[in-house]
Structure 1
């Protein structure tokens, strides 16, 4: 059996469309599956649709988080409650095509432990999403040596890879990065990102920026090293400028340069503030880790009368 994990946030009636299309694809392919829908603190009637689908179909189960913990926490909740031999993570807005899942399962049965869907296009994304996403993935790959170029969260994890992922202790998780970092035998399939079937994207520039900062600070200390290197560069430049000024003064030349000094102060002040911001992000990450709070809290479950063993253990 495979498990399909889909985070849900303010999708409303889109939940019903997603479940119906997924059922058509997987049933048509003859796959035994369960669907774990994780409501990440929706403020609309999404949870009612999840409950209704769980009542109609024993393969559908729902988790309602106590508030909006973010997509990463919702994905983690679904992974920890998945009972399948392989788990597929997919967005519930149908931008990730469910029709690719049978091919992912085929690759898994051929021996792959992680099957990643990579973007062939970015049709369903706005300009900021396309440019920002491509820039972040390339920067992340260059700084961490973890390949995220054109990567998505749409991927299949075999049980060994999933258990390795769930053993990672950090509080601030970044699923796309950690599921690539763990290694294991991998395979990729290309997908076209579709337009949203209903509504509009919940991602804003601010939320995408926070995700990027979380991903980088969770994986690499390169920004801290960059602050150090730029600081050393400024120090070297200051020594050279001081030496030049001293030589000119000894030679009897007038030493002017008030505008230059002001410009240097502005540049250095800007860098100092950015450096403090980078250090602050890492301190905030350390603070989150040492507090040891749960990464998510489950408020309610929606399930059919047949409860898999994994869910029974989770209740205890």
Structure 2
């Protein structure tokens, strides 16, 4: 049985934390009772420089619930870096790490299936969105357009996958060797080369609060994702310059 750590980045999530902790605790208890994970498994909330009471609530939850731990970053470093910080902290004492956003829009049933795939021998299990009807139209349309653009540029990535995934310790050790600072984990992780598979992820409505991924943040992430893995945009610019 593996020791599982669920890494959950948080930015101004005070409205959802109590619900999130309750649901993840219930999931861990169910998996422990089924003999799929060790009783020392837990949740690691990563406070990404929140401006509300997020960190205070994480501290309260930690005192009341032995399944809850917290990591407080010095400032707001961004979603990708917060996930990376959580995974690199957890890899020292976890056999497997699952990353999931604190709003729990991702399918917790898929998380349980990820554990099953890990027990079958897979080092990386991706949650792939099979339904995005719960997402706003703009987010859904822009995300699908970006995935197609990545594919057209030859970037190796998992279609319709965000950051809901399981990674084994050895996969995390390999990820730790990458020196990138402008992180785009959705492009780096498929390059690791370990045995991987996917599970279906049905997105649900947010229970409370609102998404912190603004259009600006999505565009910046898209730019990082494209410029970090392909030189085609530079080639296109040179070609258009010569043509002009």
TM-score of the aligned structures, taking structure 1 as reference length: 0.71
Q: Please say if 1:44 is aligned against 2:52.
A: yes
> 2:175 is matched with which residue?
165
> 2:25 is matched with which residue?
23
Question: Is the 2:7–2:99 Cα contact (8 Å) retained in structure 1?
Answer: yes
Q: CA deviation at 1:141?
A: 2.4
Distance 1:141 1:112 in 2: 24
Deviations 1:234-282, CA, capped at 9 Å, x for gaps? 3xxxxxxxxxxxxxxxxxxxxxxxxxxxxxxxxxxxxxxxxxxxxxxxx
Q: 1:201-280 alignment to 2 at 5 Å?
A: 201-234=211-244
Distance 1:148 1:131 in 2: 17
Distance 2:167 2:31 in 1: 19
3-state SS of the aligned residue for 2:178?
coil
Question: Is the 1:140–1:148 Cα contact (8 Å) retained in structure 2?
Answer: no
> 1:92 is matched with which residue?
102
Distance 2:171 2:5 in 1: 14
Moved over 4 A (4+): none
Question: Is the 1:34–1:59 Cα contact (8 Å) retained in structure 2?
Answer: yes
Q: 1:1-316 alignment to 2 at 5 Å?
A: 1-30=3-32, 31-32=37-38, 33-82=41-90, 83-234=93-244
Distance 2:229 2:57 in 1: 36
Unaligned residue ranges in structure 2 (runs of 5+) = none
Q: CA deviation at 1:112?
A: 0.8
> 1:283 is matched with which residue?
none
Unaligned residue ranges in structure 1 (runs of 5+) = 235-316
TM-score of the aligned structures, taking structure 2 as reference length: 0.92
RMSD: 1.3
Distance 1:153 1:108 in 2: 17
Task: Name whichever structure is richer in helix by fraction.
Answer: 1
Aligned length: 234
Distance 2:210 2:68 in 1: 25
Deviations 1:59-108, CA, capped at 9 Å, x for gaps? 32111112111001100110111021011000110101222222101101
| Change in 2 beyond 3 A, CA 1:71/1:91 | same
> 1:277 is matched with which residue?
none
Distance 2:129 2:111 in 1: 15
